[in-house]
């Protein structure tokens, strides 16, 4: 009897009773997850489409960067890859694609791991953007000096990098300026100074000319040849003599509102994506 009393809690009769109870009411042991509301389903689909859009934009930026690098391969003048402007498109495309892909798969597969990675990446990018904006506001003088150094570097490497050449031409043509301080700054370029052996000796790029088309339909790339050998009055009749440093600074001050609005829009887009990911993660 003592042995039976000890064995009763472990007898097969008790196991059979438990099995019968589990078969009769399986919800006690394996409860069904709560059904998602229509709003939760809508947020989940919207989060997937939201991240899919940014995934496509990231892939487009990556494709543009890779195309730019391959189009110049091998890089002219021995330009190192780390200083190539197209590398920014590649890095931005890779970052945006990776984060957006995590958000897409996290919303589609209801994966908490991917959604947490997406949230962490968005918060990190947002924090870096806010920190960068504050540093720009606090170091405006150094920013102006950095822009001047960048423009000077572009002048020196004008013929060595097609991207820098395009950038300089667009700035000079749009702002109607020439050089950094004045058109005389092109004397520091080895292809345009008056001791250069090429055909561009004592000249400036055609983007400095006041009328590069010369009342025609085809740009005259030789309109700036020999300008550095002219006097200030004669040169002013052919090219824009003012420098791009002051003009670019004035343009940036005029576009401060648009730049701030663009940065705020980017932060709001990131915040909306993070809130949708948080909602999906809470439903999971």
Topology (CATH) of 162-251: Cd81 Antigen, Extracellular Domain; Chain: A (1.10.1450)
For the chain, the structural domain boundaries read 38-69+85-152+257-283, 162-251
What's the pLDDT score for residue 53? 92
Q: What is the DSSP letter of 242?
A: B
Q: Concatenate the DSSP letters of all residues of 243-256 into one string.
A: -HHHHHHHHHHHTH
Question: Over the stretch 125-137, which tens digit does the pLDDT of each residue have?
Answer: 988 888 888 887 7
Instruction: Write the CA distances from 24 to 19, 28, 29, 113, 275, integer angstroms.
Output: 9, 10, 11, 36, 42
What's the pLDDT score for residue 8? 45
Query: Per residue, what are the HEC states of 29-76?
Result: CCCCCCCCCHHHHHHHHHHHHHHHHHHHHHHHHHHHHHHHHHHCCCCH
Residues of the chain with pLDDT under 50: 1, 3-22, 24, 27, 30, 75-79
Instruction: Write the CA distances from 274 to 121, 280, 284, integer angstroms.
Output: 10, 10, 15
What's the pLDDT score for residue 165? 86
Among 168, 143, 173, smallest CA distance to 252 is for 143
């Amino acid at each position: 009897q003592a042995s039976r009393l000890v064995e009763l809690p472990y007898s097969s009769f008790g196991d059979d009773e438990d099995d019968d109870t589990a078969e009769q009411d399986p919800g006690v042991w394996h409860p069904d997850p709560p059904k998602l509301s229509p709003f939760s389903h809508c947020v989940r689909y919207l989060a997937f489409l939201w991240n899919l859009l940014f995934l496509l934009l990231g892939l487009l930026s990556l494709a543009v960067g890779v195309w730019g690098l391959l189009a110049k391969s091998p890089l002219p003048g021995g330009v190192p890859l780390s200083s190539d402007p197209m590398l920014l498109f590649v890095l931005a495309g890779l970052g945006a694609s990776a984060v957006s892909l995590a958000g897409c798969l996290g919303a589609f597969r209801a994966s908490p791991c991917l959604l947490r990675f997406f949230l962490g990446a968005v918060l990190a990018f947002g924090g870096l953007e806010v920190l960068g904006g504050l540093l720009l506001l606090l170091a405006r003088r150094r920013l102006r000096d950095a822009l001047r150094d960048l423009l000077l570097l572009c002048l020196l490497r004008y013929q060595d990098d097609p991207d820098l050449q395009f950038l300089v031409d667009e700035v000079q043509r749009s702002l109607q300026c020439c050089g950094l301080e004045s058109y005389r700054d092109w004397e520091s370029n080895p292809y345009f100074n008056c001791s250069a052996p090429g055909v561009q000796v004592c000249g400036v790029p055609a983007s400095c000319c006041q009328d590069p088309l010369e009342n025609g339909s085809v740009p005259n790339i030789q309109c700036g040849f020999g300008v550095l050998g002219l006097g200030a009055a004669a040169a002013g009749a052919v090219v824009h003599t003012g420098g791009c440093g002051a003009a670019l600074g004035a343009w940036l001050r005029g576009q401060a509102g648009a730049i701030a609005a663009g940065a705020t829009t980017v932060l709001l887009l990131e915040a909306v994506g993070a809130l949708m990911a948080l909602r999906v993660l809470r439903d999971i």
